[in-house]
Amino acid sequence: MHIGRIIGTVVATRKDEKLIGSKLMITQPLTFKMEPKGEPIIAIDTVGAGIGEVVIYTTGTAGRIAARKLDAPIDASIIGIVDNIDLPDLTED
């Protein structure tokens, strides 16, 4: 599992039929210091997340399982909305 921030949405009126009815969100992966990490990804939203929220997402087969669409072309699924993250001081490298 990974953390990310929802930064936008994607609307695709024409898409694979197995994705019809799925909400697509642009998700920026984050480090645990809440810094952007890599390029944004498009993920299926399974929990009703909104723009600006920090989320937990999963990728690969786990993403398809989470969306309950095993035969769909899904690379990532949003599986939780983060309320709080408690970590010890991360300033040490």
Domains of the chain: 2-67+74-81 (2.40.50.220)
Nearest to 75 by CA among 36, 29, 41, 30: 41
Q: Which residues contact 90 (CB under 8 A, 6 or more apart)?
A: 32, 33
In degrees, rounded to 5, the angle at the alpha carbon of residue 65 between the alpha carbons of residues 18 and 86 is: 125
Q: Can you tell me the distance from the alpha carbon of 9 to that of 43, in angstroms, rounded to the nearest whole number?
A: 9
Number of DSSP helices (H) and strands (E) in the chain, helices first: 1, 5
pLDDT tens-digit readout, 18-57: 888 889 999 999 998 899 999 999 999 999 999 999 999 9
**pTM of this structure:** 0.86
Could you tell me the pLDDT band of residue 93, with boundaries at 50, 70 and 90? low
